[in-house]
Amino acid sequence: MLDAEPKMSNRDEDGAKALGELIALAHEGNWEAVDAALPSVATKEAVLAWAKESLKSENPDMRDLAASIFEKNPAILESDIFDTLFDMVDTEEHEPARFRATCALWEHGYRQEKIYIAMQDFAVSDDADIAALAKAKLK
């Protein structure tokens, strides 16, 4: 007899748990912990599916987190994700989310003039953390 609801695989459960922890850390503003956790979870299917949807979230911290996930995911960006990140470089009002969108494109090898200029602008940001990270990427 089949179950009425499909069961999550252990991998899916791990991804959902990791995603919940990332979201909680982002809500707390604990971005150092988010950055430390991202490399180990940025390839999980549940995390990537959430990030794709959350690039357009009304919550700027969730857009920041979503872009950060794509920064750390080594897979080639899907065209719709690329387009959204590329648009965020110009249109995102929340500086950390705009910076992470720029970083995601940068880490995936997109260094066109628009991205390079944006990274230079971030290198002189009033936010010391963003400025330091941007300077390190430009070296």
- The pLDDT tens digits of the residues spanning 7-24 come to 334 555 778 888 999 999
What separation, in Å, do the N-terminal and C-terminal C-alpha atoms of the chain show? 60
Compute the radius of gyration of the chain from its Cα atoms.
16
DSSP 41-52: HTT-HHHHHHHH
Confidence of residue 52 (pLDDT cuts 50, 70, 90): very high
Measured distance CA(40)–CA(102) in Å, rounded: 21
Task: State residue 12's pLDDT score.
Answer: 58
Structure tokens at 4: 């009425």
Long-range contacts at 20-29 (CB < 8 A, ≥ 24 apart): 22/47, 22/65, 22/69, 23/62, 23/65, 26/61, 26/62, 26/64, 26/65, 27/61, 29/61
Is residue 89 within 8 Å of 114, Cβ to Cβ? yes
What is residue 61's predicted lDDT score, i.e. its pLDDT?
A: 96
The tokens describing 64, both together, are 């920041």
Q: What is the average pLDDT score of the chain? A: 91
Instruction: Compute the distance between CA of residue 73 and CA of residue 68 in angstroms, rounded to an integer.
Output: 9
